């Protein structure tokens, strides 16, 4: 099936979605995963890194050759990742229950693995702010069983959202989630969006100059399974992975439209030379589809 195309359907829910469209078929780049997650585009490498969590591998798709290879195995049961402004790979690892950075020479630096001396549950997804701080979610999926990590007893009283500052300090920034998952900043970084997969909704927080959060109202609720990973485009629209595809949500909370795909979607990223190609992990598939939207970091 690799190299084949599968049908994608655009569904408009609001007239503001009219300018948003793209290919009617998505290209399949990989179809041998168990549960794929965490796609991240590297412009320097022209590569998408993504995880097959249950098989404990980090895989790479090369744009120039179309080949998929193993980037790291074992992969630390890695989940979400992003490329920082220096071109280094940041990722959340269920196995080590930490946030790590891969340096240019290939060595791995642990950036955060504890809060107040207690190990995290299983960091899930992360985003880097322009000031160098790294924001990440910490649900318990990686310690609930041996399927996506190692079964363990939680050391922290719940599943929360954290910030790791450039000096290494870790702060808890939100503590009223059940299953915090995907997160993304608005272009001006004054707003932080976070999904709660257990409650099946997306929340919006205001980011103060001192990096504290306020607000946290529910912006949108998922009508198809639940929300997982999210990204924001240069028009401010939020793209959320859901069970029926990708939901496109206006900053005012309106569901603008959907990109319907045949598999449960876990995450997405914008890539390509113009950042107008959506790379999507969908159950066992890595897909790409060119769209008229342009992603931001």
Q: Using CA atoms, how far apart are residues 191 and 142, in angstroms rounded to an integer?
A: 28
Any idea which residue has 């342009």 for tokens?
294
Residue 216 forms part of a structural domain: yes
The 10 Å Cβ neighbour count of residue 62 is 14
CA trace torsion 196, 36, 74, 82 (10° rounding): -60
Query: pLDDT digit string (tens) for 94-113?
Result: 999 999 999 999 999 999 99
| DSSP secondary structure, 177-206, as one string | ESSEEEEEE-TTSSEEEEEETTTTEEEEEE
Query: pLDDT digit string (tens) for 163-194?
Result: 999 999 999 999 999 999 999 999 999 999 99
Q: What share of the chain is helix, strand, coil (3-state, %, to 5)?
A: 0, 50, 45
Residue 84 forms part of a structural domain: yes
Range of the domain at 69: 5-290
Res 297 pLDDT > 90 = no
Residue 220 forms part of a structural domain: yes
Residue 201 forms part of a structural domain: yes
Mean pLDDT of the chain: 97
Q: Which of 294, 204, 220 is nearest to 255 (CA)?
A: 220
The 10 Å Cβ neighbour count of residue 197 is 23
Question: Using 50, 70 and 90 to split pLDDT, how confident is the model at 273?
Answer: very high
Q: Using CA atoms, how far apart are residues 146 and 105, in angstroms rounded to an integer?
A: 31
DSSP reduced 3-state for 160: strand
Question: Using 50, 70 and 90 to split pLDDT, how confident is the model at 147?
Answer: very high
Question: Using 50, 70 and 90 to split pLDDT, how confident is the model at 3?
Answer: confident
Instruction: Give residue 217's pLDDT.
Output: 98
Query: pLDDT digit string (tens) for 199-246?
Result: 999 999 999 999 999 999 999 999 999 999 999 999 999 999 999 999
Q: What is the CA radius of gyration of the chain?
A: 18
Residue 295 forms part of a structural domain: no
State the CATH number of the domain containing residue 198.
2.120.10.30
Res 1 pLDDT > 60 = no
Residue 178 forms part of a structural domain: yes
Q: How many domains does the chain have?
A: 1
Q: How far is CA 208 from CA 7, 14, 107, in A?
A: 43, 31, 34
């Amino acid at each position: 099936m690799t190299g084949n195309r599968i049908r994608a359907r655009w569904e408009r829910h609001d007239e503001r979605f009219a300018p948003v469209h793209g290919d009617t078929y998505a290209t399949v780049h990989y179809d041998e995963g168990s549960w794929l997650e965490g796609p991240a585009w590297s412009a320097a490498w022209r590569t998408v890194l993504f995880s097959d969590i249950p098989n404990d591998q980090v895989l790479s798709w090369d744009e120039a050759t179309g080949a998929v290879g193993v980037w790291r195995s074992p992969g630390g049961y890695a989940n979400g990742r992003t490329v920082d402004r220096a071109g280094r790979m940041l990722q959340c690892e269920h196995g080590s229950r930490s946030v790590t950075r891969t340096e240019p020479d290939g060595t791995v630096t642990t950036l955060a693995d504890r809060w107040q001396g207690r190990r995290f549950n299983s960091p899930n997804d992360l985003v880097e702010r322009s000031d160098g701080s790294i924001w990440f979610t910490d649900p318990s999926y990686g310690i609930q069983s041996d399927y996506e990590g190692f079964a363990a007893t939680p050391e922290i009283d719940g599943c929360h959202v954290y910030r790791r500052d450039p000096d290494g300090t870790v702060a808890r920034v939100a503590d009223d989630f059940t299953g915090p998952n995907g997160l993304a900043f608005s272009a001006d970084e004054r707003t932080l969006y976070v999904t709660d997969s257990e409650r099946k909704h997306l929340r919006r927080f205001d980011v103060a100059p001192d990096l504290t959060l306020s607000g946290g109202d529910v912006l949108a609720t998922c009508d198809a399974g639940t929300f997982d990973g999210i990204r924001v485009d240069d028009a401010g629209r939020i793209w959320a992975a859901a069970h029926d595809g990708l939901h496109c949500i206006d900053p005012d909370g309106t569901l603008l439209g959907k990109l319907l795909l045949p598999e449960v979607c876990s995450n997405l990223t914008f890539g390509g030379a113009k950042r107008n190609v959506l790379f999507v992990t969908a159950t066992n598939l890595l897909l790409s589809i060119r769209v008229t939207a342009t992603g931001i970091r």
